[in-house]
A = this chain, B = another copy of it.
Amino acid sequence: MTAFFTEEGSADAVNARMGKDVNPRLKEVMASLIKHLHAFAKDIHLTQDEWDIAIDFLTRTGQMCSGERQEFILLSDTLGFSMLVDAINNRRPVGATENTVFGPFHVIGAPEREMGANISLDGKGESCLFEGRVIDLHGEPVAGARIDVWSDNAEGFYDVQQPDIQPKWNNRGIFTTGADGKYRFAGIKPVSYPIPDDGPVGKMLGLLGRHPYRPAHMHFLVTASGFQKVVTHTFVGDDPYINSDTVFGVKETLVAPYEHVKGETAWRSYFDFVLTPVGTSVAR
């Protein structure tokens, strides 16, 4: 066997070069990456001009990144890669609440609020009551579950995007379930918004004939002792972008009822979070 490069044996030539004392997992990941990257170039007969465009795109994507902006995460999100990694690592039994993307807008340390409290502090938007239960796979209530929630305001911005305009912790809060597993809080019906699209990823979306919008959703991070962490959203089913979330975050089971109601609140959204015990493994 020659160590020299050939078109046919290109991936093998690269992978054969790895040393003997390399971390075995790194070796496995890199070997698979090389295999798939080379297969891509061969399948598509990638031209030199296309390679130039790709190098320039990746460079501009890296240079768009800052403390406040992560363009490579946007790229991963819009190519469905973030959702895929989340799905692979959070396989759950049928009936358990599914994960979706975490997103960049969670903030650690939101205020702990009394059950029933209102998280909307800016007085904007259509009022909505969120309620339901945290239960296990047998339908038994989970006590002491922490429900960390966050959403955009009625104009489509999270508080951290408008620190000079919105009250601190607007549309955020943490609730803890009692013995009945129930939760209940007031907020607003979330609205759809675009991901930041003034960089290379926004340009890419344009060239692919795609819009940059996410359908309206409320974020939930649900944790309870003995259960897997659930990072998810509930989606507003009649949102115009419900079938075309630009980051592919929508799953059928996460489209929650948002019903128009009469009374103190304009909307009501009921959703039960079904937790999976730690250590449960689901084969695919």
Contact = CB atoms under 8 A, between A and B. Distances in A.
Contacts of A79: 14, 34, 37
A98 to B, nearest CB: 10
Given A38-B84, A47-B89, A62-B58, A26 B208 contact: yes
Contact of A209 (B21, B34, B63, B207): B21
Contact of A10 (B18, B61, B76, B87): B87
A259 B4 CA distance: 22
Contact of A84 (B17, B19, B41, B284): B41
B5 A249 contact: yes
Q: How many copies does the complex hold?
A: 2
Interface in A152-206: none
A26 B205 CA distance: 12
A138 B252 CA distance: 66
Contacts of A124: none
A76 B55 contact: yes
A85 B207 contact: no
A185 to B, nearest CB: 27
A223 interface: no
Question: What does DSSP make chain A's interface, helix, strand, loop or mixed?
Answer: helix
A46 interface: yes
A23 to B, nearest CB: 7
A50 interface: yes
Contact of A55 (B46, B70, B284): B70
B7 A37 contact: no
Contacts of A84: 7, 10, 38, 41-42
A37 B46 CA distance: 16
A251 B4 contact: yes
B22 A209 contact: yes
Nearest to A11: B80
A89 to B, nearest CB: 5
A80 B50 contact: no
A35 B84 CA distance: 12
Closest 8 pairs (CB-CB, A-B) = A62-B62, A19-B209, A14-B80, A7-B87, A36-B40, A3-B243, A5-B248, A36-B36
Interface of A: 2-8, 10-11, 13-14, 17-23, 26-30, 32-48, 50-51, 55, 58-63, 65, 70, 72-73, 76, 79-89, 91, 207-210, 243-244, 248-252, 284
